[in-house]
Amino acid sequence: MPHVLEAPIVLVPTPCASTAAPKKLLTWRELQAYDPESEPWQKQFSRRYTHHSELMDVLNKVEDVDQSVYRQFSISVTPYMAQLMDRNDPNCPIRLQYLPSFHEQTQPGFATMLDELGEEKDTIPGTSVVHRYPRRVLFLVSNTCAALCRFCTRKRMVSQPSGSVHKDEIEASIDYIASNPNIDDVLLSGGDPLTFTDERLDEILGAIRSRAPHVRFLRIGSRMVVQLPTRVTPELCAVLEKHRVQMVNIHINHHKEITPLLRQRVKMLQKAGVMMGLQTVCLKGVNDSVEVMRELFMQAIEMGVRPYYVYSTDMVEGAHHFIVPHRRMLELYEGLRGWISGPAVPTFIVDGLGGLGKLPIIPSYVREEALPDGSGTTIHCRNYAGKTVEMPGLGQHFSLPTQSN
């Protein structure tokens, strides 16, 4: 008898008790008076700002972009994230990540590269599983996010989505994972898996665990934890613990996003046995500063969240103004390694076009050079402070000097 998820997979939060749509917070005073913990997460989800004009009386100096921006990519900002924005500074690192810019309107940029990372060619037909690496898969379960990042690599999916990944795709995806015993690592992503209700997550995670016992590592990628921390509830934590979700990777780009509320909800996940990882995108004007990155990663490690990746901005439409040059990324890495705690230093990567995969961006601290006489090689080493030493014993064809009798 085939396995079927009984309830349809619909990416719409559970309705609130009241049938009336929650009032949007259209003035600065209303926004500042709002307490994100005063209502269920679903209600705040329904209060999201979906047009920049709704923020005109909330924030000053909001760029009045034209509708061409919306044809490329929608807007979505939770009240909680809006509270973190500087009211008067248009270059606020939180504002830059979420509010549309004239850059998107006048220079759309990489317009033809809709799937620049080649995910679709690696997607198993009839499923939403991207199988690029031998033993791990990306399982795209959702087309919805709590808020939309202007640099999103999956704009083709999450902007004005149909509302869900169809339940038949979810079912076929789980069948594929279950029928491939070599798959031992499954990452749920989207969109954002936490836009599901707890009941939907329980079904999907339970199906993976029961039908694919060979999966050893089950993890979730979510920015909703940061964009709407009240999504993390005791009920959600119970679901994750029940199905042994070993890791949740969250996405933070600036230390202004780390608040007491976020720390509290991260602690709830940790108490449920979930390891916490951090992914960051290197964004011009947001975090392309050694000082900002040092503070971000030290605050992350302080709350028990291990920095994992720093991504180069992907070449997606409307994101060209965020791209940080490769050389600057090397400089940023050099400003971290040796200067902050080792576990706080993430791996810097570029996602290769066309499905090449994640490629590390690493300065050369150790180099091999040929010996002048051609007899082998020697190794030159450099530390974080620029001090150097030669280590010939690590070179090719090295032999200890003979001792005379």
The better pLDDT of the pair 342, 157 is held by: 342
Q: Which of 47, 48, 154, 200 is catalytic?
A: 154
pLDDT(164) > 70:
no
Query: In the chain, pLDDT over 90 holds for what percent of residues?
Result: 71
Q: Give the pLDDT band of residue 157 (cuts 50, 70, 90).
A: confident
Active site residue 16: no
State the Cα–Cα distance between residues 73 and 68, nearest whole angstrom: 9
The dihedral built from the CA positions of residue 120, 124, 129 and 132, taken in this order, carries a sign that is negative
Contacts of 130 (CB under 8 A, 6+ apart): 119, 122, 123, 124, 137, 138, 139, 140
**pLDDT by residue (tens digit) across 53-102?**
999 999 999 999 998 888 888 999 999 999 999 999 999 999 999 999 99
The answer to whether 384 is a known catalytic residue is no
Domain locations along the chain: 28-106, 120-360, 365-405
pLDDT at 232 over 50: yes
Choice among 92, 152, 237, 282 that is catalytic: 152
Partners of 136 in beta bridges: 185
Residue 45 has pLDDT above 90, yes or no: yes
With a cut of 70, say whether residue 401 has pLDDT above it: no
Instruction: Tell me if residue 35 is catalytic.
Output: no
CA–CA gap between residue 365 and residue 387 (Å, rounded)? 10
Known catalytic membership, residue 176: no
Lowest mean pLDDT among 3-7, 71-75, 349-353, 366-370: 3-7
What is the Cα–Cα distance from 325 to 157, expressed in whole angstroms? 27
CA dist list (Å): 142 to 26, 42, 204, 222: 29, 16, 12, 11
Q: What is the per-residue pLDDT for 396? A: 86
175, 192, 202, 314: which one is catalytic? 314
- Which pTM does this prediction carry? 0.89
* In contact, 146 and 228? CB cutoff 8 Å: yes
Q: What is the pLDDT of residues 245-259, one digit of tens each?
A: 999 999 999 999 999
Rounded Cα distance, 192 and 146, in Å: 8
Q: Tens of pLDDT along 290-332?
A: 999 999 999 999 999 999 999 999 888 888 899 999 999 999 9
Tell me the two tokens of residue 12.
């719409």
H runs (alpha helix) in 7-91: 28-33, 41-46, 68-72, 79-83
SS3 of 75, please?
A: coil
Q: Which of 29, 66, 133, 381 is catalytic?
A: 133
Q: Which residue among 185, 358, 365, 382 is the active-site one?
A: 358
Q: Between these two residues, 327 and 154, which has the higher pLDDT value?
A: 327
CA pair distance 237, 194, nearest whole angstrom: 11
**Catalytic position from the list 92, 149, 237, 282:** 149
Give the pLDDT band of residue 170 (cuts 50, 70, 90).
very high
Contact criterion met (CB below 8 Å) for 284 and 268: no
- CA–chain centroid gap for 266, Å, is 16
Task: Name the token pair of 364.
Answer: 């050369």
In this structure, the number of other CB atoms found within 10 A of the CB of residue 182 comes to: 8
47: closest CA among 31, 28, 14, 24? 24
State residue 351's pLDDT score.
85
Q: What is the pLDDT of residue 22?
A: 86
Phi-psi label, residue 355: left if phi above 0, alpha if psi -120 to 50, beta otherwise: left
Give the pairing of strands 377-382 and 388-390. Answer: antiparallel
Q: How far apart are CA 308 and CA 217, in angstroms?
A: 16
Average pLDDT of every residue of the chain: 89
Give the burial string for 350-362 (b: 16+ CB within 10 Å, else e).
bbeeebeeeeebe
* 293 phi and psi angles, rounded to 5 deg: -65, -40
Residue 351 annotated in active site:
yes
What's the rounded Cα separation, in Å, for the pair 129 and 252?
25
CATH of 120-360, one of 3.90.1260.10, 1.10.3660.10, 3.20.20.70, 3.30.590.10: 3.20.20.70
Query: Which residue in 43, 136, 284, 306 is the catalytic one?
Result: 136
Q: Kindly tell me if the per-residue pLDDT of 18 is higher than 60.
A: no
Any idea which residue has 């300065």 for tokens?
363
